[in-house]
Structures are given as C-alpha cells and as structure tokens.
Chain A
Amino acid sequence: MNIHIPTPLRAYTGGLETVSVAGTTVSSVFQQLTVQYPELKPHLFTPEGKLRSFVNVYLNDDDIRYLPNKEETAANDSDELTIIPSIAGGTSCRL
C-alpha cells in the first residue's frame, strides 16, 4: 500500500513523497517501512517502539488513534496511509 511521506521526513526516504510498502495491518506496514528506510525509525517511534505522540497517522481519512483496533487495524493495498508531523513554521528563522 502507499504511504504519503510529509516533507520534513522525505530526507529519510530519498526524497520520495509516496512509498509503497507491503503489510496487512497498519503496524506491520510501519514495521516494513522502517525496514526499508531505517533512518525514519527514530523520527516515528520511541526507543520503546511506540509511535511518537507528535506524529499523526491517518488510514485514508481517519486518525488511527480513533479506530477501534488502532495500529492493529487491517489494511489492504488500496488503502492509503498519511503521516502528519507537527510543523511550526510561519516565517522562518535565520540560523
């Protein structure tokens, strides 16, 4: 299935906006994603393996936090996952 990668994380997917990953549940898709792109892992998961709280994951139009089975929700090839990280920019600073 396709996962939409937001701009701040594309540095870790070789610039790709959409990556295609196999899996039967949201969590197995994410597992596979971090195998394909290991540098993504610390940005998405805590060292304990929990999805970071400032990363929102949508299965199609739904926030997985509000799906009954959360990360264990079944997913098939026609579904789309979207990762939405926090961004704060409004102007941009000049470091």
Chain B
Amino acid sequence: MPTAIEETVELPKLSNDEIARYSRHLILPEVGMEGQQKLKAAKVLCVGTGGLGAPLALYLAAAGVGTIGLVDFDTVDASNLQRQIIHSTATVGKLKVDSAEIMLKGLNPTVKVIKHNTMLTSANALEILKDYDVIADGTDNFQTRYLVNDACVLLNKPNAYGSIFRFEGQASVFGTKEGPCYRCLYPEPPPPGLVPSCAEGGVLGILPGLVGVIQATETIKLILGIGEPLIGRLLLVDALGMSFRTLKLRKNPECPVCGPNPTVTELIDYDQFCGITPPSEVGPLEVARDKAVTDLPVVDGIPQISVQELKRKLDAKEDVFVLDVREPHEYKIVNLGAPLIPVGEIALRTAELADKKDSEIVVHCKSGARSQRAALALKQAGFTNVSNLTGGILAWADKIDPSLPKY
C-alpha cells in the first residue's frame, strides 16, 4: 500500500519532546520514527467538526498529524455536546472551528490547525482541498457528500468516508485510483422527499464516535501506508446489534466521475443535483441550515403566521385549529396541547380533519419546515385556510412561553 505522503520531500525531524510524546508509536515497528515523521508531515482536512469530525480530529491531533484543516461554518450549540466531543460547554456560541482549535491545541500544542470557517462549495472546494494529503468527509448532507467525492476524484486525493444514521454507520475509503468512489456506490442521491426527516433521524451520541474513530484509523493507515485500508470495501456498523460487516465495492465502469469516460470533469451545482432549492431562495435547505423560514407573508401559497399573531388569535378566542405535525416522541418532550398528526401521515389521515376543510388551520412543528410541508399537503388535499407557524414551537418557547424547554 503506497503512502499518501509524497516520499520525495524530506521528512521533518522529531524533537526530543516529540519523541517522548509519541514513544508508544515509535516502539511499534509499523510506525517507528519514519512513520511518526510521516504523520508530522501529513496534512489532513476534516470536512465538518460535528459528530464524526470531533473524534476524528482529536485522534489525529493526538497521533501527531502535523497539519489539521477544519471546514465548518456553524457555531457550537448546546445540543451538539451530546456527541461533538471536540466542543465543550464553555465554547457554546463560539464558531465551531475556533472551539475545535482550542480543544486540539490543548491536546497537542504542536499541531498546526488551519481553520476554514466557510461552507464548502463548488467555487471553493478545489482550492481548499488541494493542499491536503487525505480528506476525511464527516458532513451531514448529500450535497456536500457528492461535492467532496467529486473534488477528491478530480484532485486524486483519498477520502476517508464515514456516515451515520440513528444506530447505523458506514465507512469506506473513496477517491483512490485503484478503488471506487462514492458515486460508484450511489450514482444518484435520493430525492429529498424520500430521505427521512431530521426529526426522524436522531443519532445515538456515541455512534459518530465509533465511526469517526474508524475514519481516523483509515486516515492514519493511508498516511503510514500500512494495513488494508477500506478501499473497495464498505464497512457497515450496527450499534444495536453491535455487528460489523464489510461488503465488496466495485469501481463502476460507467461512473460519471471516476470511470474511463467521465462526464463530470469539473465541480457541478450540487444543490441542483440533489434536487434541493438553492439557498438563495427561501426553501427547505435554508431551514435545514437551521434558519427557520423567513418572515415572508406567503411561501408557496401558504401564509406564514408569527407566534405573536397566533397567540393573539388564541387569546381573542378566534376559531383557529392548531395542528402539531411532529413525531410522538417529540410531542412527549414539549407540546402546545394541539392534536398531533406526524407530517408523514398527513396525506393518509386527512379524513380525521374532514370537518376542518374550511376552518382556519395553523400547522406547527419544531421550527417551521415540516409544518410548511404539511401545510402544502393539506392545501393539496383541499383544505382552504391553512397557514404555517413561523419558527414552530421553538419560536413559541422563545417569544411567548419561555418556561417551555427547547430541544
């Protein structure tokens, strides 16, 4: 297995302090002085400093990887800390790249941290990725998955891939000359409607730890040129059954990026490729990025109503029917006492609302995205007066009833 580090460059020397710090590596023949020097010379880019990126970057820093790049545009939120162990209570509210740097530098002050406080896009990806030896993809959306994959193939950089959902994880190494890429496995993304919504998609906090550490292991192996990296294999992790399986992956001869006759030879518009409204418009993606639908009066024909306006209507005893479209387990966390029909069941259960066809209905969810979908479905089903509660129950907790918990 060839190493990801160019052997032609002279490897950096280790100081006596470094020799002491890395002694457990140095006495492993598979690593040794040369391996530790390769780690010091290595530059690894962690795309995302979330659940996967957190343990990944921490272990890379501990192992003595010389340069760690971090791409993230988010800030630390208290709800991240259930799994994103590179951040801490003290850094809630800080930029994730700054928060991560504090932890990495605390663990290993010699590591060079390069912060890219930006969203990875087609316009900047090649420029950001080109200086790194290994890319570790720990993002949370399909657009960035395909973007990172294509950029890695175009730049001929190995991609230590990891992905998680609830109790299940996947890991592989994509983007090498000899092996397949992400598109060989998944030529197309699923249409947005078929992906389980985020609310249905919680995650067991330790699972990204497990998978992120596998990504770190693969990264280190690629740098050292040892062992059998997950090239051409997909590791499936099931945390509930605690079973690990690997499946053979093949290079798809018709792969549009890494095949012999590629049709994708430069980065494309990945929002469009994934069937997602570009972020410049008010659409689901903007909500997915944690900004609730903005205060436009009407979105796709659905009036948007503020929590203050709903409060006023309720206080005035106006005849308004409030419908909660979250999942039952969310309802248990906090609710407004409204009847519950999860967004996925709306279309099947409109009969239950038959007497509300012409009533004023206000639909709410957690932050306003699912309720917008539900409102559209109701309108489609012939309901004539449906509006969407801007900001959902979170906005209600913020502006109307601060005693409510936020999740």
Once the chains bind, are A7 and B188 in contact (CB under 8 Å)?
no
Known: A11-B200, A58-B247, A93-B288. A88 touches B140 (CB 8 A): yes
Q: Which of A20-28, A30-38, A49-57, A68-76 contacts B (4 or more CB under 8 A)?
A: A49-57
In the complex, are the beta carbons of B198 and A82 less than 8 A apart?
no
Which of A11, A17, A43, A52 interacts with B241 by CB under 8 Å?
A17
Smallest Cβ-Cβ distance to B162: which chain A residue: A90
Residue pair B196, A8 in contact (C-beta under 8 Å):
yes
Tell whether, in the assembled complex, residue A90 and residue B208 are in contact, meaning their CB atoms are under 8 Å apart.
yes
Near A by CB (< 8 A), chain B positions 352-372 give 365-367, 369-370
Bound state CA distance, A86 and B51, in angstroms? 18
A-B pairs under 8 A by CB, number: 123
Q: Are A7 and B190 in contact (CB under 8 A)?
A: no
Which B residues, 167 to 207, have Cβ-Cβ distances below 8 Å to chain A?
167-168, 170, 185-190, 194-203
Interface size class of A (residues with CB under 8 A): 20 to 34
Nearest residue, chain B, Cβ from A91: B50
| A56, A84, A87 — most chain B CB neighbours (10 Å) | A87
Give the dominant DSSP class at A's interface: loop
- State A89–B148 Cα separation when bound (angstroms): 14
Q: In the complex, what residue of chain A is closest to B194 when comparing beta carbons? A: A43
Whether B165 sits at the interface, judged by CB under 8 Å, is: yes
Indicate if B163 sits at the interface (CB-CB under 8 A).
yes
Kindly identify which residue among A17, A90, A94 contacts B367, using a CB–CB cutoff of 8 Å.
A94
Inter-chain contact B247/A87, CB cutoff 8 Å: no
User: Does B295 sit within 8 A of A, measured CB to CB?
Assistant: no
Q: Is the CB of A42 within 8 A of B194?
A: yes
Say yes or no: B248 contacts A62, CB within 8 Å: yes
The reply to whether B163 and A90 contact each other, CB–CB distance below 8 Å, is yes
Which residues from chain A contact B138 at a C-beta distance below 8 Å? 90-91
Asked whether, in the complex, the Cβ of B196 is within 8 Å of the Cβ of A91, the reply is: no
Interface pair B248/A91, CB less than 8 Å apart: no
Binds A, one of B76-84, B217-225, B260-268, B397-405: B76-84
| Total residues of chain B contacting the partner, CB 8 A | 62
Q: Would you call A84 and B247 a contact (CB within 8 A)? A: yes
Assess the A61–B198 pair: CB atoms within 8 A.
no
CB-CB under 8 A from B365, the residues of chain A are 95
Q: What chain B residues lie within 8 Å of A6 (beta carbons)?
A: 168
CB of B164 closer than 8 Å to a CB of A? yes
Given known pairs A53-B187, A56-B185, A95-B369, the reply for A89 and B247 (CB within 8 Å) is: no
Q: Are B165 and A94 in contact (CB under 8 A)?
A: no
Complex Cα gap A32–B141 (Å)? 32
Closest to A60 in B: B247
A95 touches B248 (CB 8 A): no
**B73 in contact (CB, < 8 A):** no
In the bound assembly, the distance between CA atoms of A50 and B137 in angstroms comes to 30
Interface status of B52 (Cβ within 8 A of chain A): yes
Instruction: Name A86's contact: one of B53, B142, B252, B370 (CB within 8 Å).
Output: B142
B167 and A7 form a contact (CB under 8 A): yes
Q: How far is the CB of B108 from chain A (nearest CB, A)?
A: 23
CA distance A65 to B185 in the complex (A): 10
19 A-B pairs, CB-CB below 8 angstroms? Answer: A8-B168, A8-B195, A8-B201, A43-B194, A54-B189, A61-B248, A62-B248, A82-B247, A84-B170, A87-B164, A87-B165, A88-B142, A90-B48, A90-B139, A90-B163, A91-B83, A91-B140, A93-B141, A93-B290
Chain A residues packing against B (C-beta within 8 Å)? 6-8, 11, 17, 42-43, 52-54, 56, 58, 61-63, 65-66, 82, 84-95
Binding site for A on B (CB under 8 A): 48, 50-53, 77, 79-80, 83-84, 137-142, 145, 162-168, 170, 185-190, 194-203, 208, 234, 236, 238, 240-241, 245, 247-250, 252, 287-290, 365-367, 369-370
Query: Top 6 nearest A-B pairs by Cβ distance?
Result: A91-B50, A87-B165, A95-B198, A90-B140, A90-B138, A7-B168
